[in-house]
Structure 1
């Protein structure tokens, strides 16, 4: 007599991983053009042929160096007080010379922008992904799922399809594309990767986030203040992460285990952060209330996350990977949570060296964080538990609790 057929529940249990999802490799990449923040006002007005706007340039230069009175709040702006020293960009003077319409938001330049982004976005992502795959240590053909997040293009087949070709992924790879998630795209992608890895035994998920700001670049004349200020805040970059559960030793070496993830939307904040595609590119709005709104809500998200795990956490006993949307956001969160100096050092470093790269940025912070943990002074053990947080339109807050047990410290 044959054995009884398995129940659906038994089949599902067999399909799931035994352990939690873990970060198995991280990679980042930037385009070659680097602009020092102190030089940016002169650079911006020169490349947009706007040097005749002397009054506006003087005004914006003052704003870049902090104009609290004009905003009544700590605004997400650029300059010495922003903590940004430099940013990397795909857009350069040669590209602008070939596309002069990019400097005038009233001209219909969207098609040309999308043409450039459709090639550049997946190529930059491929550079980051190659590094993540190399650290992971297994062939790219063994990636089972791909999640790609960007706001920098709108075309089908999309950037995920092109990236799969560039990397030589299997034709059976399961692809998911996230568009226009903005600064929370990286956090959303990590949570989706966690769920895929834990619910599909043997799955290996490549998360790729890639952004280039030329989709939202134009000159200062006629532009709204949010967009003009954003020209000096946002940078270009790509980040990639390999996620999988039940790591195969000795090839796979987990960096962080993903213990919990959630998404929270702050009520009545639909207009606080917004993005809109127009004939002249992308326009965005960022309210000067964003730091305050986040500061009023992040602790509740953290309490809920650790309560769900049954873990008692003191905020200063954790390691932190916070999306550095701007210095004001980091300052507000640091103050609300009572964090010690240096707790957000990885986020501040990334903001300083790269600016805000939208959803990509949190992957850069994770990469910087793991380097800092590896370099901890002898005799001082790194923190065991940590948090990833990302924020974007909605206002949406992504929260993830990470675990790095003692056995992972040497990674």
Structure 2
């Protein structure tokens, strides 16, 4: 029995910052000329133009979590203070996104939701956003709730795989999957290059999907789930890690991460593609988590992809930054919204601490943008199951 991703919706916090603004803000909080030069160099190379944050403190000189102290340095709030803001902001963002997701997908009633799978690694609260989604949207109190915690940028795939397994086991299951991260709450000012890179890349956002075994109807493009697979990059554990410190969560992000991913990606992909009788050349759409510009460049080079293959990933990185787990779902949503063909084989990839590589093979069905001069045909559910 096939599982389908019927719809993907996205949401961001209300505060938006340009790359230039955040770069100058960070430079103002460090004293060493070398650190200022590093910030200039790293921010210039990110490929990011704007990012969103749940925190408005970056526009303030006083008050809030990240205010400037009399000596010109940044106040470094405790983990508890940061997490308190996570609890408030995540609740509001999750409820808003859940309501938006159901509103954009009218073929599902709120009373039909049987499971909520919530993924996040940037904060903790109990009762958490999954609980408040049920309460504030008026879902059935019997809805099963699951939290996929502290996995990092690849968490969308375990969450979607769990949802697909629920639907394959129970044809009546309708699963709301949500990935939500508030990475900017863990900003730390340091002259260490890995810390500067983390500050330069990460941002806030959320994405949600509705998954079921019900054959899609209507003319909205959707994904048919084909396969998921996990892999670990050998000898890479120390190069990307995420732990809890006294002043926020500490990110270890080595400069070698793009090279490690690039040198292993072809072999790792071969495993999942071979099982489907596919080769790299058979993939029509590449939904790659834009962990950073250098990672996308490595994948493009090592897989010998056309220069336009990762355009969707680059546009998400440019407009939103790296939002951790929701980011690849922003990319997948982009392909649904810009689909011009009735069928495409989509390979989705994300990376995270470990280094962990998660992959998914999906069949994108339906066109959102018909060819010029042609009416858009309805998507027939039976074609997806063929």
Asked if Structure 1 and Structure 2 have the same fold, meaning a TM-score greater than 0.5 normalized by the shorter chain, the answer is yes
Per the alignment, residue 40 of structure 2 pairs with: 62
Deviation at 1:339, TM superposition (A): 0.5
User: How far off its partner does 1:95 sit?
Assistant: 7.6
Give yes or no for the alignment of 1:98 onto 2:63: yes
**TM superposition shift of 1:98:** 3.2
- Whole-angstrom CA distance in 2 between matches of 1:254 and 1:168: 28
Q: Is the 8 A contact 1:144 1:173 kept in 2?
A: yes
Q: Secondary structure at the match of 1:404?
A: strand
Counterpart mapping for 1:5-404 below 5 A: 19-46=1-28, 50=29, 53=31, 55-56=33-34, 58-64=36-42, 78-79=43-44, 81-93=45-57, 97-100=62-65, 109-137=78-106, 138-220=108-190, 224-247=192-215, 249-250=217-218, 255-309=222-276, 311-315=277-281, 317-373=283-339, 376=340, 381=341, 384-404=344-364
Q: Which shifted more, 225-234 or 347-356?
A: 225-234
Aligned pair in 2 of structure 1 residues 183, 394: CA closer, same or farther (>3 Å)? same
Query: Which stretches of structure 1, 4 residues or longer, exceed 3 Å deviation after superposition?
Result: 94-108, 405-411
Asked whether the 8 Å contact 1:144–1:205 carries over to 2, the reply is: yes
Mean alpha-carbon deviation: is it higher for 93-102 or for 106-115? 93-102
Assess if the C-alpha contact under 8 Å between 2:291 and 2:322 holds in 1. Answer: yes
Structure 2 CA distance for partners of 1:101 and 1:85, relative to 1, 3 Å: closer
> C-alpha deviations, 1:339-359, integer Å up to 9, x for none?
001111110100000000000
Distance 1:119 1:40 in 2: 23
CA distance in 2, matches of 1:405, 1:241: 16
Q: CA distance change for structure 1 residues 326 and 281 in 2, over 3 Å: closer, same or farther?
A: same
Deviation at 1:368, TM superposition (A): 1.1
**Alpha-carbon distance change, 281 to 95 in structure 1, aligned in 2, over 3 angstroms:** farther
Residues 298 and 169 (structure 1), Cα distance of their counterparts in 2 relative to 1, 3 Å cut: farther
Cα distance in 2 for residues equivalent to 1:96 and 1:303: 51
Q: Residue 258 of structure 1: CA displacement?
A: 0.6
Q: Secondary structure at the match of 2:351?
A: strand
Kept after mapping to 1: 8 A contact 2:287/2:348:
yes
C-alpha contact (below 8 Å) 1:316/1:339 kept by paired residues = no
Q: How far apart in 2 are the matches of 1:317 and 1:110?
A: 43
> Which 5+ residue runs of structure 2 have no aligned equivalent?
371-375, 380-386
Q: For the residues of structure 2 that align with 1:248 and 1:84, how far apart are their CA atoms?
A: 35
Unaligned runs of 5+ in 1: 1-18, 65-77
Q: Kindly indicate whether the alpha-carbon contact (under 8 Å) linking 1:23 and 1:243 is maintained by their aligned counterparts in 2.
A: yes
Q: For each residue in 1:239-283, what CA deviation from the matched residue of structure 2 results, as whole angstroms up to 9, or x when unmatched?
A: 001111122645x95601011111112233221110111111111
**Counterparts of 1:27 and 1:209, CA distance in 2:** 11
**Separation of aligned partners in 2, 1:199 and 1:133:** 23
- Give how far 1:147 is off: 0.8
Distance 1:277 1:161, change over 3 A: same
Q: Over aligned residues, Cα RMSD in angstroms?
A: 2.5
**How far does residue 206 in structure 1 lie from its aligned partner after superposition?**
0.7
Classify the secondary structure of the residue corresponding to 2:326: helix
CA contact (8 A) 1:184 1:397 kept: yes
Distance 2:76 2:51 in 1: 26
Q: Distance in 1 between matches of 2:123 and 2:365?
A: 39
